[in-house]
Amino acid sequence: MSLTRILPLFILFLFVSPAMAQTSQPDWAKIEEETMRHFQAILRLDTSNPPGNESLVVDYLKSALEREGIETKVFANDPKRANLVARLRGNGKKRPVLIMGHTDVVTVDPTKWKHPPFSATREGGYVYGRGATDDKDNVVACLMVMLLLKRMNTPLDRDVIFLAEASEEGGGPNGIGFMVDQHWAEIDAEYCFAEGGGVVRTGGKIQYAGVATTEKIPQGARLVARGISGHGSVPLRSNAVVHLAQAVAKVAAWRTPMRLNETTRAYFERLAKISSPEAAARYNKLLQPGDSPGGSDDAQEYLAVNEPRLYSTLRTSISPNIIKGGYRSNVIPSEAEATLDIRAAPNEDLTWFFDEMKKVINDPAVEIVRNQAGRPGSPPSRLDTEAFRVIEEANKRVYNVVTLPTMLTGATDMAQLRARGVQCYGIGPMTDSEDGPKGFGAHSDQERILEEALHRFVRFHWDIVVNLARGNAP
């Protein structure tokens, strides 16, 4: 055992609270072997979506859980794309906690992979495979937590429900929407833990733990410009391509208003405390009252250029991603169209937003066509809950870092649960911030996870669930 392996354990003991000390700890060395066995087995099941075939993972989980006497149920809209629910019963004193992971993965181009994408190859302290960090890490952590709670016969004040869900990547009718609409009673819970967070390590040093407490709402739209068609040798002022190009340039340059919420405020406050003085000054500037639109302009501009993900968390964002118009060089087309990827801040007033966009474009030849929102909006999950508190404590104990509540710019299946009033927290394993840009992140051709990070994540997951659900022994 190397020093780097001993140190985290040593830190773990340092931060053991009296409450934790009363709980017997699982035999982690043995658990690590078992975790790796299940993780590799699950990674080797090809659940690329489309088509999905998530039932492969459901069958695996079902037998692993039932072998140890844990009750499971399978719900399928399509027999190949099942969802699994397992439940450990508590004494009902508190409402359930739902732990979940999605079993589908994004598709692969196998020719680009050094290690075959469904081989779960172990090399140099990593496990490689599609789904290694999205989201089979959460799936296996949930499985291990269920097995441990059952084996240790942990008395529970609330039910612990495990949902292994299909069809997260790209939505669709088989996963969370199906469960929420048709089998709500099976997953109804006070709290949920799912993907979306993670512990950030930079230069080998753990910086902070991000916990996703809210996310932006995807809200697409199209800009359609219409003009008079004609011969390309006679340019027209009404040319639809020209009107569209001007409209696209205007919406892209539009600095939409800042919309901070409880999550993003806390995020920038806490981030400032662990940042360099320069960066801290910038983050604090964003939080000053009356800063919008004047005072924090330079700080905002800095983020727009250098930290675009953070900039996006400040506001509803617009990215024009598809542009179409015309079909031959000598014909002035009568129509041209641009597709905008709009990600609304959770507290955005969308009626106001689109009225304002119309004013920004200021061109009667351009129509804004809104798409249906793909996921419902809802307020951020609260930071003053028992669940958030146990997460903060576990991050101290397991990683010795502070917790930053974060707003995801992308969308997850937590949206549907939050809309039903469940307080949801996105968690995840430790990753090196250098890994993503090098091409080893989620959805990449070399998706991988540090073995050490996977095992620590299982400990962290067990810690939060046990501290949230454990009751007193009868």
Task: State the CB neighbour count (10 A cutoff) for residue 95.
Answer: 14
Q: What's 84's DSSP letter? A: E
Q: In 3-state terms, the chain is what percent helix, strand and coil (to 5)? A: 40, 25, 40
Would you say 108 or 271 has its CB closer to Zn ion? 108
Identify which of 204, 131, 272, 211 has the alpha carbon closest to the alpha carbon of residue 434. 204
Residue 55 CB, nearest approach to Zn ion (Å): 18
Chain residues 166-225 in contact with Zn ion, contact rule CB under 5 A:
195
Residue 401 CB, nearest approach to Zn ion (Å): 23
Would you say 135 or 215 has its CB closer to Zn ion? 135
Identify which of 366, 360, 353 has the alpha carbon closest to the alpha carbon of residue 317. 353
Residue 204 CB, nearest approach to Zn ion (Å): 26
Q: Using CB under 5 A, which of the segments 134-142, 148-156, 209-217, 231-239 binds Zn ion?
A: 134-142
The tokens of 171 are what? Answer: 């939505």
Residue 33 CB, nearest approach to Zn ion (Å): 26
Residue 193 CB, nearest approach to Zn ion (Å): 14
Q: What's 429's DSSP letter? A: -
Identify which of 72, 99, 102, 67 has the alpha carbon closest to the alpha carbon of residue 84. 72
Residue 197 CB, nearest approach to Zn ion (Å): 12
Question: Residues 6-45 vs Zn ion: string with x where CB under 5 A?
Answer: ----------------------------------------
Would you say 106 or 280 has its CB closer to Zn ion? 106
Would you say 138 or 300 has its CB closer to Zn ion? 138
Residue 269 CB, nearest approach to Zn ion (Å): 28
Say whether residue 435 binds Zn ion (CB under 5 A): no
Task: For residue 393, give the 3-state DSSP assignment.
Answer: helix
Would you say 135 or 435 has its CB closer to Zn ion? 135
Tell me the CA distances in angstroms from 407 to 187, 213, 262, 306, 411, one per residue in order.
24, 6, 10, 18, 10
The tokens of 378 are what? Answer: 């809802």
Say whether residue 393 binds Zn ion (CB under 5 A): no
Say whether residue 134 binds Zn ion (CB under 5 A): yes
Would you say 165 or 195 has its CB closer to Zn ion? 195
Tell me the CA distances in angstroms from 105 to 118, 392, 425, 454, 471, one per residue in order.
11, 29, 21, 18, 36
Can you give the length of the chain in residues? 474
* 265, 346 Cβ separation under 8 angstroms: no
Q: Which of 135, 262, 435, 463 lies at the binding interface for Zn ion (CB under 5 A)?
A: 135
Give the residues lining the site for Zn ion (CB under 5 A): 134-135, 195
